[in-house]
DNA sequence: ATGTATTGTTACAGTGACTGTAGCGATTGA
DNA sequence: TCAATCGCTACAGTCACTGTAACAATACAT
């Protein structure tokens, strides 16, 4: 399983050093007050190397926060015959939230990430983008799963409402200083609100 | 009503020239292939002037968004006593949609924006940021207007669902080649879908 | 009308994110 | 041990964006 060669191990070490240097510096002085050059310097690599590992300055903080769209698609694919639309949709969203949550918590950087995401718009947006990029895909899968109930517009609107509600609720919770559990409850509450309009 | 002085009129003319130059250039050559310096040059102003009118290069394409939020806030502020939440919300959204149709959809600007946003990450990001701040403002106003019915989370979720649904529907309509009228109908349909969950 | 304050615009000089490229040196596989 | 690979570096460059001082046209007072 861990068959990484020496070269690859060194690469990962560099990557990790960049992440840790960035987190420490961001924590100390704030996101905007830290330049990429300084991060690279603290990690003892050249500035160019930073961008060989991360596409943007923001990405160094979201390195392990991938959203698994395929999980939601899987839920839709594996639905039981005759299962109501609202239940499938709720379960799919819940699955995505749970997965993203686990990764964030296990990374150990969840607190800093939440704090920075709440205060730096660029990070806020970048996080939400991961959910939004899944939107069209989800809508399409949902429409194919319920062709009799949903046209393309309705499917898009439904998924858009879900993602929009959950994202907005999560952000509001984070911004007012809620902890992880409360934020998660807020997301579920938002989900339930939209789910009512399907039934 | 139009009591603008000469100075202010010139300013607006400069602003409009920048917008039109930008739209034309973006349409011709694509977003990334146009520099701010070129836009300023085409509008016959200095590059510095561009940033006195728009915070970022992306903002020149989102010039009318602020006006729209103001319209919705106005609807909320001018509600009749005892008017149901669902009606106020629907009217506020409807007002924004109508304005969007007037300004952006009918002119084809919305279609260009959707096309560019789909392919340019920076534009996507900025658009999202605008939506987020607009949503937060709306949610706050809505909660203050209906403090007995809405907590902060529910208000955010509600507005997020509305905006998310309407945006997704509009995008889907535009992407499949619908005209301005069909796009507007799609937005209204999405709005009605979410509105059901309030009642 | 005339002087004064305001302000939209400008030129200039920066900072910092991000990219292309060529070369070096350490791993890798044969 | 030879050759190919590849992560990294240095260097030079583009471009979005900002601070600042100055200018000239407008606005406003007297």
CA pair distance B110, B21, nearest whole angstrom: 16
pLDDT band at A191 (very low <50, low <70, confident <90, very high): very high
SS3 A19: helix
Q: What are the backbone dihedrals phi and psi of residue B107, each rounded to the nearest 5 degrees, phi first?
A: -85, -10
Residues in chain B: 199
CA pair distance A166, A186, nearest whole angstrom: 8
In this structure, are residues A188 and A98 in contact, taking their beta carbons and an 8 Å threshold?
Answer: no
Dihedral angle computed from the Cα positions of residues A39, A133, A173 and A119, in that order, rounded to the nearest 10 degrees: 30
Interface residue of B157, B186, B190, B191 to substitute, partner A, most A CBs within 10 Å: B157
User: Which of residues 149 through 188 in chain B touch A, CB cutoff 8 A?
Assistant: 152-154, 156-169, 171-173, 176, 186
pLDDT of residue A99: 79
- Of A47-56, A111-120, B122-131, B170-179, least confident by mean pLDDT is A111-120
Which residues on chain A are in Cβ contact (under 8 Å) with B173? 153
pLDDT of residue A73: 93
- Of A34-38, A113-117, A145-149, A158-162, least confident by mean pLDDT is A113-117
pLDDT band at B5 (very low <50, low <70, confident <90, very high): confident
pLDDT band at B188 (very low <50, low <70, confident <90, very high): very high
Please give the average per-residue pLDDT across A74-95, as a whole number: 92
In this structure, are residues B141 and B78 in contact, taking their beta carbons and an 8 Å threshold?
Answer: no
Structural tokens at position B168? 């997704």
pLDDT of residue A30: 93
> How many beta-carbon pairs under 8 angstroms link A with B?
139
Of B157, B168, B176, the CB nearest to A135: B168
CA pair distance A171, B157, nearest whole angstrom: 10
pTM comes to 0.88
pLDDT of residue B118: 87
SS3 B101: helix
CA pair distance A58, B129, nearest whole angstrom: 15
Position of tokens 């534009």? B123
pLDDT band at B74 (very low <50, low <70, confident <90, very high): very high
**B190 and chain A: CB distance < 8 Å anywhere?**
yes
């Amino acid at each position: 399983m861990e068959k990484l060669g020496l070269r690859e191990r060194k690469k990962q070490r560099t990557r990790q050093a960049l992440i840790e240097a960035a987190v420490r510096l961001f924590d100390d002085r704030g996101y905007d007050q830290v330049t990429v050059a300084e991060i690279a310097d603290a990690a003892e690599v050249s500035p160019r190397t930073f961008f060989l590992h991360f596409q943007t300055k923001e990405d160094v903080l979201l390195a392990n926060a991938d959203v698994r769209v395929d999980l939601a698609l899987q839920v839709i694919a594996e639905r039981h015959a005759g299962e109501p639309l609202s239940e499938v949709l709720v379960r799919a969203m819940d699955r995505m939230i749970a997965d993203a949550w686990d990764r964030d918590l296990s990374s150990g950087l969840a607190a800093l990430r939440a704090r920075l995401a709440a205060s730096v718009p660029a990070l806020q947006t970048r996080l939400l983008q991961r959910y939004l990029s899944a939107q069209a895909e989800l809508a399409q899968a949902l429409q194919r799963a319920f062709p009799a109930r949903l046209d393309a517009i309705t499917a898009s609107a439904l998924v858009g409402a879900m993602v929009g509600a959950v994202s907005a609720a999560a952000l509001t919770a984070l911004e007012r200083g809620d902890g992880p559990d409360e934020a998660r409850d807020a997301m579920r509450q938002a989900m339930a609100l939209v789910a009512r309009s399907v039934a």
